[in-house]
Structures are given as structure tokens and as C-alpha cells.
């Protein structure tokens, strides 16, 4: 039987040779799939995230449908926040909405550490999934401190992050205390998943690209690095969007793999990330809407540029868009798997 440790995904994380780049898609478990929309009916997003049977089914759907080389746990970056008592909901078409946004030092008391008993459904689902998945690795994940802080402070999604930056520039002591607490909660959430058997973890710092390199280094990187340092025993992936100017710093933050969006070509991204790291990415999710010959050329180009890196995990540059045709994703997997030139 194929061995999990020797899976192409884990080999690429370790920067070992693989016959082709492993491929999975951020947000592969989600609205692009009719079978997802069917099983989600009657539950809010966060209700679904608390039911082990639903977590399992939705996590497995893209593995069955696309033949991807890794599964990602169906959950959300705000699940651990809700589990420690934050009043948060995920509003369809908007994203996480926080009832009482965080602005002051006193708000820190609302962020206790996460204990495994806060998320029993996650441990249960991960344990059962690792059995079900056999040789296919399961990726666990958490939100990075900055991205979580942005939701908490703004009260919801923001393009400009002005309240977040106001706190960052105006009250550094509260800022660092807040990010420190969020790193502890995220570390606890990753540890629950690792103890239950995930094969790798990804830290999503989706909105880090809103910062200059100097501000990232001073105000954010120490907390992401602390989160990454808390993880041992499994490969770590560190991802953000619009991070072209941050890739060198992200490469130094402690992950084994740095995820990149489509704005920087993968060979250049690997150069910025530096030696001793693999890269993950980076097809523009909107290219899934282009004619197949155009898309196929870009897939091949991404694979070719990835060969210049020490390790490459094929992915989109951000999540699957909800209107994506699932058959296009299946064809991408097939094409990447047929690109078998020696790495």
C-alpha cells in the first residue's frame, strides 16, 4: 500500500524529488462543488464546522472529485475564535462578522487560550479522516495573527484595514499583546489538529500584503514566527496574498513552504523566498475562467517555473472562486500530473 510519508505532497514539502508537482487547491472544499452546496443546506457555515460527519464529508468531496494530492480540513480561520467565546458569524457573500469589534486593551480579556476541549469536533473529524484518507495527506490550518486581528478589529472584512493599522501605529503595546494572544489561540488550534493526526499545516496570513516590509517586520512577523515555531513534527506552509515585497521575510519566518499568489512568477518567488524552502502556488484563480488552451499553457508555465524551486506544490494563488467549473479543476490536476519531466 502507498505510504503516507512517501506521498508526493509530503516529499515536495521536504524538498525531495517528485515525479510531478503535487497539487491541491485552497478552498477546494467549498461552493464550486454542487455536492458541497447540497450538504451545507440547513446549516450556517460555523454550524457545519462543528459537526464531525459534515467536516469529514466536505473534506473528502474534492479528493473524490478532483484527485488532488492532499485534503484540507473543512473549517475556518474564525472557528477557534468562536470556540474561545468570541461572538462571530460568517455571513454569506461577506465573510466573518464580529459582534463587538476589538479596539482597546480591555478587549484582551475576551481572548483566552484555546484548550482541546473547546473543539472536540475537530479532533474527532481529523482522527476519522486520517483513517478514511489512507495515503492522502490531510492539511490542517489556522489564521495568522495579523489576518485574525484584522477581522477582530475591523469587525469584518476590510480592503483598507484602517482601524487595524490605527491600533498598530497608535497603541503598540495593546497591538503586540493582541497579536500575542491570537498566536497562542492559533497555535492551540494547530496543536489540536496535529495531535489528532494531520500531516502538514498551513498558516493563512491572507491580508499580510496590506503591510510594507518594514511594518510587517516590526509589528507582525515576530508573532507569525512564534506561531510557526510552536509547531513541530509536521511540515509548515505559510501563505499570504499580495506578498511580493514580503516573500524574503516570510521565507525567514520559519515555514518549510511559502505560498505565493499569482503576482510574482514562481521562479522569481523562489529566489525571493531563498534557499532551504519549497514554494506553493500560484495560478491566478481567475484563469480557471479562460479558454482551456490558454489556461493549459499557464498551468505548464507554472510547473516549468516551479522546477527552478527546491520544491514545488502546485496550487492557485488564492482560493477557488465559487463560480469555478469543477471540471476545469479536475483537468488541471490531470494536466499537472502528466507534467513528468524530472524535477
What share of residues in the chain are helix, strand, coil (percent, to 5)? 50, 10, 35
To ligand CP3, the closest distance from the beta carbon of 150 in angstroms equals 9
Question: Do residues 149 and 164 make contact, with C-beta atoms less than 8 angstroms apart?
Answer: yes
**Rounded distance between C-alpha atoms, residue 239 and residue 225, angstroms:** 13
Closest to 283 (Cα-Cα) out of 268, 267, 269, 303: 303
Strand-strand pairing, 88-91 and 95-98: antiparallel
24, 68 contact by CB (below 8 A):
yes
For ligand CP3, the closer CB: 10 or 88: 88
Q: Report in angstroms how near the CB of residue 119 gets to ligand CP3 at its nearest.
A: 15
**Using CB under 6 A as the criterion, which residues of the chain lie in contact with ligand CP3 when the complex forms?**
26-31, 40, 45, 72, 74-77, 90, 92-93, 95-96, 141, 157, 204, 206, 319
Nearer to ligand CP3, 80 or 188 (CB): 80
- Residue 251: which H helix or E strand, with range? helix 247-251
> Could you tell me the smallest distance in angstroms from the CB atom of residue 209 to ligand CP3?
11
CB 198 within 8 A of CB 138: yes
Q: State the angle between helix axes of 172-196 and 162-170 in degrees (0 to 180), rounded to the nearest 10.
A: 110
C-alpha–C-alpha distance, residues 170 and 219, integer Å: 12
Nearer to ligand CP3, 202 or 302 (CB): 202
Least CB distance to ligand CP3 at residue 112 (A):
22
Give the CB-side neighbour count of residue 241, counting CA atoms within 13 A: 13
Strands 236-239 and 200-204: parallel
Shortest approach of ligand CP3 to residue 329 CB, angstroms?
A: 12
Q: How many residues does the chain have?
A: 343
Catalytic residue positions, numbered: 27, 31, 40, 76, 151
Alpha helices, H only, 31-106:
34-40, 45-48, 52-66, 79-83
Please, what is the minimum distance in Å from the beta carbon of residue 333 to ligand CP3? 15
**In whole angstroms, what is the distance from residue 303 CA to residue 325 CA?**
21
Whether 315 and 23 have beta carbons less than 8 Å apart is answered as yes
Amino acid at each position: 500500500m502507498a505510504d503516507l510519508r512517501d506521498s508526493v505532497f509530503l516529499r515536495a514539502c521536504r524538498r525531495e524529488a517528485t515525479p510531478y508537482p503535487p497539487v491541491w487547491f485552497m478552498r477546494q472544499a467549498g461552493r464550486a462543488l454542487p455536492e458541497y452546496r447540497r450538504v451545507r443546506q440547513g446549516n450556517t457555515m460555523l454550524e457545519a464546522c462543528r459537526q464531525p460527519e459534515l467536516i469529514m464529508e466536505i473534506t473528502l468531496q474534492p479528493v473524490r472529485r478532483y484527485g488532488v494530492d492532499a485534503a484540507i480540513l473543512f473549517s475556518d480561520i474564525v472557528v477557534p475564535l468562536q470556540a474561545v467565546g468570541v461572538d462571530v458569524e460568517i455571513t454569506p457573500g461577506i465573510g466573518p462578522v464580529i459582534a463587538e469589534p476589538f479596539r482597546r486593551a480591555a478587549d484582551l480579556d475576551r481572548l483566552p487560550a484555546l484548550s482541546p476541549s473547546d473543539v472536540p469536533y475537530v479532533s474527532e473529524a481529523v482522527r476519522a479522516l486520517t483513517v478514511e484518507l489512507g495515503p492522502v495527506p490531510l492539511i490542517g490550518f489556522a489564521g495568522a495573527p495579523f489576518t485574525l486581528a484584522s477581522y477582530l478589529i475591523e469587525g469584518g472584512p476590510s480592503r483598507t484595514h484602517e482601524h487595524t493599522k490605527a491600533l498598530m501605529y497608535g497603541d503598540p503595546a495593546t497591538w503586540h499583546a493582541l497579536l500575542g494572544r491570537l498566536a497562542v489561540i492559533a497555535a492551540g488550534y494547530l496543536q489540536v489538529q496535529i495531535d489528532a493526526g494531520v500531516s502538514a499545516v498551513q498558516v493563512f496570513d491572507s491580508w499580510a500584503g496590506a503591510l510594507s516590509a518594514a511594518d510587517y517586520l516590526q509589528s507582525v512577523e515576530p508573532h507569525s514566527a512564534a506561531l510557526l515555531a510552536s509547531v513541530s513534527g509536521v511540515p509548515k506552509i505559510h501563505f499570504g496574498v499580495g506578498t511580493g515585497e514580503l516573500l524574503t521575510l516570510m521565507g525567514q519566518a520559519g515555514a518549510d513552504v511559502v505560498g505565493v499568489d499569482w503576482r510574482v512568477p514562481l521562479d522569481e518567488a523562489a529566489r525571493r523566498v531563498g534557499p532551504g524552502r519549497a514554494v506553493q502556488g500560484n495560478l491566478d484563480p481567475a484563469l480557471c475562467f479562460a479558454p482551456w488552451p490558454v489556461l493549459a499553457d499557464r498551468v505548464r508555465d507554472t510547473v516549468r517555473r516551479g522546477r527552478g524551486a527546491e520544491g514545488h506544490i502546485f496550487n492557485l494563488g488564492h482560493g477557488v472562486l465559487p463560480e469555478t467549473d469543477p471540471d476545469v479543476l479536475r483537468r488541471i490536476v490531470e494536466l499537472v500530473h502528466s507534467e513528468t519531466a524530472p524535477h
